[in-house]
Amino acid sequence: MTLARLRFVLPETPAGDAVRRISELIRSCGGRALLAGGGVRDLLSGRELNDFDLEVYALDAETLQKTVSAEFPLDTVGMSFGVMKIRHLPIDIALPRRENKTGQGHRGFMVTTVPDLSFFEASARRDFTVNAMMCDPLTGEIIDPHGGQADLQKKILRHVSSHFSEDPLRVLRGMQFIARFGFTPAPETVQLCRELSQTELAAERIGDEWDKFLLKGTHQTAAIAFLRDSGWLRFYPELAALPDYFLDAVADALEYAASRRTGNEADDRCIAAAILCRYLTKEEAESLLARIWRRNDLQKQAADLARHAEIPAGPLPADPSLRRLALTVGRMDLLTRIAASFFPAKEEEWERFQARCQALDIWQTPPVPILQGRHLISRGIPPGKVMGEILRKCFEAQLDGKFTDEKQALQFLESVKPPAAD
């Protein structure tokens, strides 16, 4: 076991103060609280610590609950798995446990809490060595049973043990860790991933990992290479069928888009999804996105945006075409950001495209019909097939630029002849 010292100072925040006090309470009862998991990884990487996972040794569940609840309100919904939460603070407290695979899926485990479990065995159930370190918040001591510090220093992503295979989601976790932190996967980890399958994974868990990959990552080229090398592109056959140069173009565009995220999660996700689908047919795009997310609105919007991604970087279309394009894609601003990701050198083209869309008032919203049913009713035309046909013709004329406001629209309406009755 490797031990080291860390210059660790808990943040002067309510959560940091609470972690310090909880650790003191646990120590006063003969137990030991250790920060565990990704928080230690982030701490060693110089990142801000916002969520705290404490693992408590040498105390049984009853004593732990009684000790902590004396000063902190607890949510004990997860106590059957040895987990409790501090209410209103980002602090989870868990007992060390053994997990035995008993069935399919992430719920197919039998969990047994073992307060006197060794540090080595307790951390062996974690996914990667960089996530298997622990730190004493009162002394700064790091406990590193699996060489996580060395792997973190070399930016190597290596699985901890054979327990890795018990949850195939860890392959997708590897994908998003590579994208977010620039890790290089260890060859033996890549080989192990080839033996796993995502068929038993719940759809929401898959979407969560892809969200982290696409919304937080900045090294998408390496992450896509990992999917390819691990054989996991087979679960995304639409991408697997693309030539390498198309996949490389997608990865480059994702990295460009990552550097220009706005923080609007829905927009950033839609842009990333459309980039993924750039070289797919509409049907292929919707199939791929349905496999990643259960978001019907995203599937259609991203697929439509992907099909027109080159337009803002090319010759400026005529105004009627721009208006109709806005109806198809919904958001011309998103379309322009997608185009910029694939054609970053064509800044003048997509800036000109943006200026024209803003002048036409279709930059963020598609055209809305100026003439409505109420206008026709006031002229004695009742709701029905005739009204619908007149409104359709008027909207087509509006898209063609024959009128731009209500006064002009009403004047145009006078020239429209009702269709002949059947």
SS3 readout for 77-131: CCHHHCEEEECCCCEEEECCEEEEECCCCCCCEEEEECCCCCHHHHHCCCCEHHH
> How high does pLDDT run on average in the chain?
91
Helix (H, G, I), strand (E, B) or coil at 41: helix
Strands 52-57 and 91-94: parallel
Strands 156-157 and 74-75: unpaired
Strands 2-5 and 184-185: unpaired
pLDDT bucket at 8, cuts 50 / 70 / 90: low
- The domain defined by 2-147 folds into Beta Polymerase; domain 2 (3.30.460)
pLDDT, residue 103, reads 53
pLDDT, residue 349, reads 93
189 pLDDT above the threshold of 50 = yes
262 pLDDT above the threshold of 50 = yes
Report the predicted TM-score, pTM, of the whole model to 2 decimal places: 0.87
Mean pLDDT of 338-342: 95
334 pLDDT above the threshold of 90 = yes
Q: Please name the residues in contact with 286: beta carbons below 8 A apart, sequence gap of 6 or more.
A: 299, 300, 303
How close are the terminal C-alpha atoms of the chain, in Å? Answer: 88
Q: Where in the chain is the domain with CATH 3.30.460.10?
A: 2-147
Chain position carrying tokens 């055209």: 367
Residues 403, 412 contacting (CB under 8 angstroms): yes
- Please state, in angstroms and rounded to a whole number, the distance separating the CA atoms of residues 55 and 58: 10
pLDDT tens, residue by residue, 272-324: 999 999 999 999 999 999 999 988 889 999 999 999 999 999 999 999 999 99
